Amino acid sequence: MSPPLLQVNDLKKHFPVKTGLFGRKSEWVYAVDGVSFEIARGETLSLVGESGCGKSTVGRAILRLFDVTSGQVILDGQRIDDAHPSTMRQMRQRMQVVFQDPFSSLNPRMRVRDILAEPIRNFGLAKSAADLETRVTALMDTVRLPREALNRRPHEFSGGQRQRIGIARALAAEPELIVCDEAVSALDVSVKAQIVNLLQDLQREFGLALLFISHDLAIVEHMTHRVAVMYLGKIVEVAPRREIFAAPRHPYTKALLSAVPLPEPGAQRNPIILGGDVPSPINPPSGCRFHTRCPYVFDRCRTEEPQLRSAGGEQWVACHLDALPAG
Ligand code: SF4
């Protein structure tokens, strides 16, 4: 078996915050607290969970948008988390990002031509001015935008078209991995589907690996190979798409999936309503972090943290229950 393209080992990112009256107290936000996973070449792994669970922080840590607290991020056998800036520059070419909001991630003063030319120039990919022009026009074809639009600025496009420009900009660097951070969340339902289809086509065409960060399980269901579910800074379940949607095992995954609409008209899942709010990542619960909301909680859950263990095949679950609830 070939080695994974991306390996994340026991990744932690803790942020200092000031709390209390007049901000006199210093505390830590345990945004990501021991996360491990791998992504193969050409694979899509979806990282899902509620807002604030730490999934976007994982994406940003992989891209080294900040230094991690501890753990390792390894791209194609090379450490990123402690890489020298000169090495990091080469690594950045190999992993790109598409953000949620193309309004704020595209410079409104630049024409599309310059937005796409910038990464090609930065990474020295074009052999000549003619090659640069060929690459820029080919990118427009690839993301199915008209070439005439190269001279327009971002505000002249719809949200979906702007996201296509964001994808083209990511592709301009010829990456092997793209982190899609809630990349379709702000789009209308029909546009979402078009962008997801485009990403799938590009993945097939270029052999791209995708880390698809999303809170929208209905979208994930149609486009991912595997799913990793996060809760309060930890992965609680990871499994191939078919297994996790057919038979989620972790009580939190079961609750999340129970809210996903079924495709058949009129069909409904039995909704599982969780009690209480998501606890603060400043002071996460002891033991299993889900124990304050779990319908199956028992004594051990309050004191001992469950580790990911195999629930059969490639399905891994962090839960103390001996007989994990199926389906
Ligand atoms: Fe629920 Fe306990 Fe399993 Fe956590 S370890 S999910 S609290 S049963």
pTM of the model: 0.93
Q: For 270-292, what is the mean pLDDT?
A: 91
The answer to whether residue 305 scores a pLDDT higher than 90 is yes
pLDDT score, position 327: 59
Condensed to tens digits (0 to 9), the pLDDT of residues 82-126 reads 999 889 988 999 999 999 877 788 899 999 999 999 999 999 999
For residue 288, report the distance from its CA to the centre of ligand 1, in Å. Answer: 6
Q: For 289-313, what is the mean pLDDT?
A: 95
Share of the chain above pLDDT 70, in %: 98
The answer to whether residue 175 scores a pLDDT higher than 90 is yes
Domain extents for the chain? Answer: 6-94+175-249
For residue 216, report the distance from its CA to the centre of ligand 1, in Å. Answer: 23
pLDDT score, position 153: 96
pLDDT score, position 126: 96
| Nearest residue (CA) to ligand 1, atom 6 | 319
288 lines ligand 1 (CB under 6 A): yes
For residue 287, report the distance from its CA to the centre of ligand 1, in Å. Answer: 9
For residue 46, report the distance from its CA to the centre of ligand 1, in Å. Answer: 23
Class of domain 6-94+175-249: alpha beta
HEC letters along the chain: CCCCCEEEEEEEEEEEEEECHHHCEEEEEEEEEEEEEEECCCCEEEEECCCCCCHHHHHHHHCCCCCCCEEEEEECCEECCCCCHHHHHHHHHHEEEECCCHHHHCCCCCCHHHHHHHHHHHCCCCCCHHHHHHHHHHHHHHCCCCHHHHHCCHHHCCHHHHHHHHHHHHHHCCCCEEEEECCCCCCCHHHHHHHHHHHHHHHHHHCCEEEEEECCHHHHCCCCCEEEEEECCEEEEEEEHHHHHHCCCCHHHHHHHHCCCCCCCCCCCCCCCCCCCCCCCCCCCCCCCCCCCCCCCCHHHHHCCCCCEECCCCCEECCCCCCCCCC
pLDDT score, position 277: 82
Condensed to tens digits (0 to 9), the pLDDT of residues 133-150 reads 999 999 999 999 999 999
Confidence at 16, pLDDT banded by 50, 70, 90: very high
pLDDT score, position 2: 79
Q: Which atom of ligand 1 is nearest to the CA of 296?
A: 8
| Nearest residue (CA) to ligand 1, atom 5 | 319
The answer to whether residue 75 scores a pLDDT higher than 70 is yes
